[in-house]
Amino acid sequence: MELRQLRYFLAVADELHFGRAAERLHMSQPPLSVQVSRLEEELGTTLFERSTRSVRLTPAGVHLQASARSIMSSVNTVQDEMREYAEGLSGRVTVGFVSSANYTVLPGVVQLFRARRPHVTLDLRPLTSGEQIAGLLAGTLDVAIVRDELPTSTDPSTELIAEVVFEELLVACLPADHPLSHRSEVSADEIVEIPMVTYPRALMPGYVDRVSAVFNATAGVINVVEEVVHQETALGFVAAGVGTSILPESVRHLLPPSIVAIPLTGSPTSRLIAVRAARHDDRVTGAFVECLHDAAQALARR
């Protein structure tokens, strides 16, 4: 039994006339009659009582009509669902993000994406940049929102696409009672003299290299006294007087009164970068990255 036969049967069952059913199906009547007869032979029962004046459903035909309508409704539903999936209107996208994205692009992109793609499940996972790149290569993430990371894939079968979506100033976070706390800006030469709270390079290579470049260009080697994973932990050490930490300017949303954030001389910046594995016709992922750019642009206009 084929779906085509069920469609033919339903047309005749609805019209109770082979001629009208053939017109509805845009075919001639003889092939339609042949297909219905073949269906009856396959099922081993008569579906229609035929006479020169009328066509009526048999009890078996009435039963098949109800079942066939349910089957065709399910088929149409699946077709609609797959069409939406192919067009990026349904499905699932798994996104990793660094914690600092919480205070910049993440709230806006979540709101925008859910408005534009209400039938797509958005799975958000807070991870370090290194963990996200590993997730992309392993296939557990669709999009990574990393900081200062421009990765290249070591797997020739997986091409990574990286796009800068947001850029912000780097600031030096200092205790409010520090001698430099009242400055409008501080130089790398001045900050390098202060013990530094930073991050493990294995987890955040791009960001650690970016901060190191700011200091190595003019001031020399950083005196790292603590390595932490989260910027909230870094701020805790700063508040305790352990040292300073170089963080993105959006960290101001987290600062207690006991900490100040001062721009660095030369206005060095840090970038949030969207990374994804190149896949053919992955419209859901593409839609998310588009929303990410739009959310970043809206944030920049504020």
Instruction: Answer for the pair 226, 243: CB distance below 8 angstroms, yes or no.
Output: yes
Please compute the mean of the pLDDT values over residues 190-211 and round it to a whole number.
92
What per-residue string of b and e applies to 147-165 under the rule 16 or more CB within 10 Å gives b?
Answer: bbbebeeeeeeeebeeeeb
Least confident of 12-26, 130-144, 162-176, 279-293: 279-293
pLDDT > 90? residue 302: no
The pTM score is: 0.71
Among residues 164, 169, 130, 155, the alpha carbon closest in space to that of 274 is found at 164
Q: How many residues comprise the chain?
A: 302
Least confident of 14-23, 71-80, 243-252, 292-301: 71-80
Angstrom CA distances, 201 to 35, 149, 206, 232, stand at 70, 11, 8, 18
Question: Around Cβ 200, how many Cβ atoms within 10 Å?
Answer: 13
pLDDT > 60? residue 117: yes
User: What is the pLDDT, as a whole number, of residue 52?
Assistant: 80
pLDDT > 80? residue 157: no
User: What is the pLDDT, as a whole number, of residue 105?
Assistant: 95
Model confidence band, residue 159 (pLDDT cutoffs 50, 70, 90)? confident
Model confidence band, residue 197 (pLDDT cutoffs 50, 70, 90)? very high
CA distance 302 to 18: 67
CA distance 200 to 35: 71
